[in-house]
Amino acid sequence: MVKHYIWSYNPIDIDAYMYDYIANKNNFSFVNFYENGMTEERKSCGYSLCLQNYTAIHTTYDEAVDVVKNCSDTIHIFFGLLTPMNRRLLRYLKDCKRDNKIFIVSERYNAFGNSLEKRVKELIRWFDYKKLSRELNNVIDGFFAYGTKGAEFFKKLGFTHVYPTMYATNHHYNIRTYTLLDAVHPPEGHALRCALGYSYSNRTEKTRFIYVGRLEFDLKGVDILLKSLDTIIHRGGGRKEWSIDFVGNYGANSADVNRWIDAHCEYARQVGKIPFDQMIHYLHGYDVCIIPSRKEGYHTLPAQCIAAGIACIVTKGCVSDELIERYKSGIVVSSGDGKQLSDAIMFCITDKEAIDKMKRCAEQAAPDISMEAVGDYMWSVIQCRINKSSSIPECPWSKKIARAKEHSRELEREE
């Protein structure tokens, strides 16, 4: 009987629901062996590992080797290449003659620090990845990289059989779960909403913004968000026209952010933490989510915004900005550009019809990137690679992204 193992540094949290779905649909179970516990930050977000066909087990390297020694006819999914245990196990499996199938799942590398420090780290990791691609390409059956940018990143490093993927948030908690239109899917859902007089626009006069995540300047770009909001206030954007809630009262700069919130209490408030499995439902109560990150491996919020049926302002550094660009469900701005961000925020304050249109685009896009859609695509690729099929399914959302970009280029040439 084929066994299905996932190897990771921390227990898988966001994607655990998707792997549980895959296992349940195909009548098997996943076991996630991890070498380090879930961080306090992740615990506080309410991630649950109590799933039907997915089990997480803490293990040491020696215990992991004992498991691998007895593995045959096993599908291994490694989250990350550079974690100590994964790196050693992959080298062990390379020399193992048993029938094991190996797949990698990874974000692109994300360096931190000042410009020089980041460049040095990126060079070191570049050599690490190049070495691993030469060493392991022959034993890796497939490589799933988060986002098309992530896929391009790893292809340039020499990895083969690279396919884009995305974090599959628990989309069971989406807009249709909480409305009387549960049985109606877009575009029929949109038509029925219009017939019933349902409005996508604000139920109040205000444009309701939300920020979700760590209150951190260096990576998350919250300092740029605060400066952009100050610009809006100085432009005369009155408190009756907009408000913003901050979700996630933690992070290196939480004290600074909370002082700003206290000083601007007519516009802003701190609402603390929201459990992960309630996030999409909670997002549905807003109009626009702002994601000002400087750089990410892959940000999950754009997909959650689409599932919640709300608009999104996101930077190009999030990688998942490609979803917003593809589906026209928000505005994409350059990372670190405060003027672009403040202009986008002001646009959302003044143009309610544009927000309504973005919300409709989000609702229509939700089925394309649901947990089920992502899981079915990934499992189909895995089966095709195992069976050595030359017909690999295309990634549903990246295919559409590529076509959208080509269409935009054609329009530019015509102009």
pLDDT at 112: 62
Query: CA end-to-end span of the chain, whole Å?
Result: 59
175-368, superfamily in CATH?
Glycogen Phosphorylase B; (3.40.50.2000)
What is the rounded CA–CA span in Å between residue 91 and residue 137?
11
The position carrying tokens 């009155």 is 238
Q: How many other C-beta atoms lie within 10 A of the C-beta of residue 18?
A: 27
Answer whether 325's CB lies under 8 Å from 308's CB: no
What's the distance, CA 102 to chain centroid?
Answer: 23
pLDDT at 110: 74
- Mutual angle of helices 16-25 and 371-386, in 10-degree steps: 60
pLDDT at 249: 87
List, for residues 376-385, the tens digit of each pLDDT value: 999 999 999 9
Going by C-beta distance under 8 Å and a sequence separation of 6 or more, which residues neighbour residue 316? 332, 333, 334, 335
Do the domains spanning 3-168+370-404 and 175-368 agree at the CATH topology level?
Answer: yes
What is the rounded CA–CA span in Å between residue 43 and residue 370?
24
Give me 57's structure tokens. Answer: 């087990």
CA-angle at 50, arms to 44 and 56, nearest 5°: 90
pTM of the entire predicted model: 0.84
Going by C-beta distance under 8 Å and a sequence separation of 6 or more, which residues neighbour residue 95? none
What is the rounded CA–CA span in Å between residue 375 and residue 377?
5
Q: How are beta strands 288-291 and 207-212 bridged, if at all?
A: parallel
What is the rounded CA–CA span in Å between residue 252 and residue 218?
9
Give me 264's structure tokens. Answer: 């601007």
Q: Which CATH number fits domain 3-168+370-404: 3.40.50.2000, 3.40.630.30, 2.40.50.140, 3.40.50.2300?
A: 3.40.50.2000
pLDDT at 70: 81
- Mutual angle of helices 84-94 and 115-136, in 10-degree steps: 20
The amino acid sitting at 54 is Y
Going by C-beta distance under 8 Å and a sequence separation of 6 or more, which residues neighbour residue 388? none
- Domain ranges, ordered by start, for the chain: 3-168+370-404, 175-368
Question: For the chain, which ranges sit under pLDDT 50?
Answer: 172-203, 402, 407-408, 410-411, 415
